[in-house]
């Protein structure tokens, strides 16, 4: 796994990353007319965890348009079986985690990335959710735990419009307006040794509350209510 963490891209790798990011930015800007509010809240250097609300598969792509820094994210290790696909994924920031591996192995890989000073994307809701409310019982403790272990801030983000651009079961991505709202970084708690469960729980709830506020603001600026998907 460590061989794919790829902290230092070659000169060609850096060029290719800028090329693909710029190309995707132009496509997304034209197709989704996306806007970013609070871009200045994203740290210019050092590691941090970007924690967006999660309402669509497009959130990973559009969330990455908020900054030109290469942000890292998890991918299934089997994707690296194809040499060219694996090379492309590494360039754009993905790193592999073996499917079915213990959660602690994935969290350790995330911590390694952050300790290298790189940004990391982690959705605190885990999988896609629906509706206007960021529910506390749908929150995962992974981002808070990793932030506390690595000593990096969590940057919350609200994203509105992606659920309409790519609804459940959609075979086509629709040109809908998308708004990203980036909040102020939430500092990592100061801990020594083992991270107490209470610290992780409290930080997770703080992240949930901040994401809810940012999601509400993104929805207001977007002018479109979130999709309600039953059951």
**C-alpha torsion 124→93→2→139, nearest 10:** 0
Angle between helices 142-150 and 197-222 (to 10 degrees): 120
Burial 203-231 (b: 16+ CB within 10 A, else e): bbeebbebbbebbbbbbebbeeebeeeee
Between residues 154 and 92, which one has the greater pLDDT?
154
Give the pLDDT of residue 92: 77
- What predicted TM-score, i.e. pTM, was given to this entire model? 0.89
Render pLDDT for 3-28 as a digit per residue (tens, 0 to 9): 455 556 788 888 988 999 999 999 99
Percentage of the chain with pLDDT > 90? 61
Give the pLDDT of residue 7: 53
Domain residue limits, the chain:
33-71+101-222
On the question of pLDDT at 1 being above 70, the answer is no
Give the pLDDT of residue 3: 46
Render pLDDT for 54-73 as a digit per residue (tens, 0 to 9): 999 899 889 989 999 989 98
Percentage of the chain with pLDDT > 70? 93
Render pLDDT for 194-209 as a digit per residue (tens, 0 to 9): 999 999 999 999 999 9
Alpha helices, DSSP H, located in the chain = 11-32, 59-63, 83-92, 103-115, 142-150, 162-165, 197-222
Give the pLDDT of residue 75: 75
């Amino acid at each position: 796994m460590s061989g794919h963490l790829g902290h230092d891209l070659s000169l060609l790798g850096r060029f290719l990353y800028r090329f693909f990011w710029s190309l995707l930015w132009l496509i997304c800007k034209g197709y989704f007319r996306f806007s970013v509010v609070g871009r200045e809240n994203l740290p210019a250097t050092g590691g941090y965890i970007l924690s967006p609300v999660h309402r669509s598969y497009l959130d990973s792509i559009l969330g990455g348009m908020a900054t030109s820094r290469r942000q890292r994210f998890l991918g299934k290790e089997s994707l690296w079986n194809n040499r060219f696909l694996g090379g492309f994924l590494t360039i754009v920031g993905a790193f592999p985690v073996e499917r079915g591996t213990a959660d602690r192995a994935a969290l350790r890989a995330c911590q390694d990335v952050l300790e290298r000073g790189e940004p990391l994307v982690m959705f605190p809701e885990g999988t896609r959710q629906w509706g206007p409310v960021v529910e506390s019982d749908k929150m995962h403790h992974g981002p808070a735990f990793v932030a506390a272990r690595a000593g990096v801030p969590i940057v919350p983000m609200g994203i509105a419009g992606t659920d309409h651009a790519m609804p459940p079961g959609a075979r086509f991505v629709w040109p809908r307006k998308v708004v990203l709202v980036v909040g102020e970084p939430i500092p990592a708690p100061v801990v020594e040794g083992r991270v107490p469960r209470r610290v992780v729980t409290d930080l997770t709830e703080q992240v949930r509350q901040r994401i809810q506020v940012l999601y509400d603001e993104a929805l207001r600026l977007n002018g479109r209510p979130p999709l309600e998907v039953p059951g």
